[in-house]
Amino acid sequence: MSQYETATATASGYGSSRGGAPVVSFENVSKHYGRLHAVDGLTLDLRPGETVALLGPNGAGKSTSLDMLLALRKPTGGRIRMFGEDPYTGVKSGRVGAMLQSGGLMPEVTVRELVELITKLHPNPEPVAATLKRAGIAQFADQRVDRLSGGQTQRVRFALAICGKSELIVLDEPTAAMDVETRRLFWNSMKEEVAAGRTLLFATHYLEEADQAADRILVINRGRLLADGTPAEIKARAGAKRISFRLDRVDEPFLLGLPGLVNLDVRHDVVQLQSSDSDATLYAVLDAGYRPREIEVTSLGLEQAFLAITAEDDAANGTTHEQETN
């Protein structure tokens, strides 16, 4: 069993160590479309107060999983519980707010009018003025919805997700089309939501966001859970570190024979490599009489760890992401 298969086998244990009953439980959930298994035996728990990032390549089953959680699709097999009940009951009671990629906003109304309408429909609404302020959209609240930029539209979608006193917030690619500053303001708002006691689940392609915002990361591929842990734990599962240094006399054949070497890149006198055993790699360089300068040893970033986890799964199943999406 590989380290990532081991992670899969123990993935559901992370949530069970947290206090309180689960906010959300997936129990061996599957969603099939003929021979396509969009979600395949997914089991996980979300606990109160967690900020959880859902990561996966295109076609991994992220949006399908969120749709099933929000009662927009029915599972083919398994069971989903939200606050101990079926998802439809949780959604109907207003205990969850959602921001999805699919579905348009009403045109020819102002932002304020749209927020007011959705607020009136919510079982447990927040004041409109408070929602506009929390979502950072008060300054363009009197503009028409169909005349907003892409980033402004995303912020309006976020406002609709938090216009009620929901205990769970579900976001699918929330910062798509947002510029860097708008993303920063958005995540500041999300920190306030979590600080108020809400649980946050979000899917994203921006791995840096997941690294910075989430206290727990779920990696899925081919509809299956591959890894579950803190950002640091996910990065550690890649099993390699990045080493860089300067060397006056570069001997590439020697470097290629270093113990633990995973990848090597040499540019003039700068050597950059990945190693599964950074100590053994550096000792071998020193023992050979080399004296490297400006040595840096760092863990792989979340992007490299994510790619390593999903690539191993693809290799084990004899497929690629291009094959899955074409």
Q: How far is CA 215 from CA 168, 210, 299, in A?
A: 16, 9, 18
Q: How far out from the chain centre does Cα 38 lie?
A: 18
Same domain, 173 and 292: no
Tens digits of per-residue pLDDT, 168-195? Answer: 999 999 998 888 888 998 999 899 999 9
Using the Cα atoms of residue 43, residue 314, residue 56 and residue 5 in order, give the sign of their dihedral. Answer: positive
Same domain, 71 and 38: yes
Apex 160 CA angle, 143 and 209, nearest 5: 100
CA distance 122 to 92: 9
Nearest in space to 173 (alpha carbons), one of 53, 71, 266, 1: 53
Examine residue 230 and state whether it is found in any structural domain, yes or no: yes
What is the band of 152 on the pLDDT scale with cuts at 50, 70, 90? very high
Rounded to an integer, the average pLDDT of 218-242 is: 87
Examine residue 26 and state whether it is found in any structural domain, yes or no: yes
Tens digits of per-residue pLDDT, 117-133? Answer: 999 999 999 999 999 99
What is the band of 262 on the pLDDT scale with cuts at 50, 70, 90? confident
Q: How far out from the chain centre does Cα 200 lie?
A: 11
Q: The CATH number of the domain where 72 resides is what?
A: 3.40.50.300
Examine residue 44 and state whether it is found in any structural domain, yes or no: yes
| pLDDT value for 303 | 84
Rounded to an integer, the average pLDDT of 204-215 is: 90
DSSP codes joined into one string, 242-257: EEEEE-SS--HHHHHT
Same domain, 200 and 290: no
Same domain, 226 and 268: no
Strand partners, 79: 27
